[in-house]
Amino acid sequence: MTTLKGPGIFLAQFMSDQPPFNSLSSICAWAASLGYTAVQIPTWDTRCIDLQKAAESKTYADEIKGIVAMHGMQISELSTHLQGQLVAVHPAYDQLFDSFAPASIRGNKSARTEWAVQQVKYGAKASANLGLQAHATFSGSLLWPTFHPWPQRPAGLVEEAFAELGKRWRPILDQFEECGVDLCYEVHPGEDLFDGITYEMFLQQVDQHPRACLLYDPSHFVLQQLDYLQYIDFYHERIKAFHVKDAEFNPSGKQGTFGGYQSWANRAGRYRSPGDGQVDFKSIFSKLAQYDYPGWAVMEWECCIKHPEQGAQEGAPFIKEHIIRVTDKNFDDFAAAGADRSVHRSILGLDA
């Protein structure tokens, strides 16, 4: 069993042009003052990091690491969620997702895909230069507009899409293998990897690649009404990153999992700050500790009601309270009998 590391905080939702959220150093000082011991860094935000430079220069990577360490913190993981999203984009979302790409390649789908692939590969090298074991990303999606089977999907469409998805990700995964870093897909609605079945379909396409791992976030499973505890039983060997994010699902006679096109605050399923939703974090932390989860517990704030700064203030103690210091002895050791083979055989009646 393993004691989880934490608390960490994902910086993406907190970065802004206002201090202390406008530079890596100042936001690390703020996070440390709240009790966090690690930061998950969004690599698309140049206020935090120059991803290409971190991939190409160990000296620069050490400088980034030093900035974080100056505030008594560590880097839990780098994130390429936005870049990973662009590895695979259905045409229905071209215009919406173009905003994730540099202005110079917007409207050029092939250039956007090439850029995204290179970005995630930079993420592998940058993670290695920073001495990190895991990296967080999205899979992107070629199929999401067809997740509900109406109109009926043509036979073979799903297989074709997953074959293409595997083809695009295989060289990226090989880059992560070369760098000795696990690539952790956040299984998430809107991605082709949105539940356990789709993850297994993807693994088949990449020959069960050892670096095709998981970022576990139970909030997305609450909204899907998926058993997020049994999910850990199924996939614990692949879970290498963990977002502590809460959610609630309150269906009515008017709406359910699809939400009726309502705002986040008015949906039946909505994200909440840790402790404000329905996620059973005590059981999650217990299972992850029992299964030797090797990574960090990282708070991700995405609450539709609570202010992010209040969520951040409450998040560090919430995680601390849930981290289990695993035991190194059995509770009944005080009554233990000595080990003696002759006694064993006598108890079993083998010497009679």
Cα(346)–Cα(179) distance, rounded to whole angstroms?
Answer: 55
User: For the purposes of burial, counting CB atoms within 10 Å of the CB of 306, is it exposed (0-12), middle (13-18) or buried (19 or more)?
Assistant: middle
The reply to whether 352 falls in a domain is no
Give SS3 for 271. strand
Amino acid at 197: I
SS (H, E, C) 245-269: CEEEECCCCCCCCCHHHCCHHHCCE
CATH code (residue 186): 3.20.20.150
| pLDDT number for residue 333 | 77
Cα(273)–Cα(283) distance, rounded to whole angstroms?
Answer: 18
Amino acid at 150: W
| pLDDT number for residue 352 | 61
For the chain, residues with pLDDT lower than 50 are: none
User: For the purposes of burial, counting CB atoms within 10 Å of the CB of 334, is it exposed (0-12), middle (13-18) or buried (19 or more)?
Assistant: exposed
Determine how many CB atoms are found less than 10 A away from the CB of residue 159.
11
Number of helices and strands (H, E) in the chain? 13, 10
The reply to whether 41 falls in a domain is yes
Radius of gyration of the chain (CA): 22
Cα(134)–Cα(122) distance, rounded to whole angstroms?
Answer: 14
Cα(237)–Cα(252) distance, rounded to whole angstroms?
Answer: 37
Tally of domains in the chain: 1
pLDDT digits (tens, 9 = 90+) for 218-230: 999 999 999 999 9
Domain interval for residue 244: 5-347
Q: Which helix (H) or strand (E) holds 282?
A: helix 281-290
Q: Provide DSSP, 28-79.
A: HHHHHHTT--EEEEETT-TTT--HHHHHH-HHHHHHHHHHHHTTT-EEEEEE
Tell if the pTM clears 0.75, that is, is over it: yes
The reply to whether 163 falls in a domain is yes
Cα(73)–Cα(149) distance, rounded to whole angstroms?
Answer: 47
Strand ranges (E), 258-317: 269-272, 296-299
Cα(35)–Cα(342) distance, rounded to whole angstroms?
Answer: 54
pLDDT digits (tens, 9 = 90+) for 294-321: 999 999 999 999 999 999 999 999 999 9
The reply to whether 156 falls in a domain is yes
- Dihedral angle over CA of 260, 264, 267, 271, nearest 10: 140
Tokens representing 288?
A: 């992850």
Give SS3 for 323. coil
pLDDT digits (tens, 9 = 90+) for 252-274: 999 999 999 999 999 999 999 99
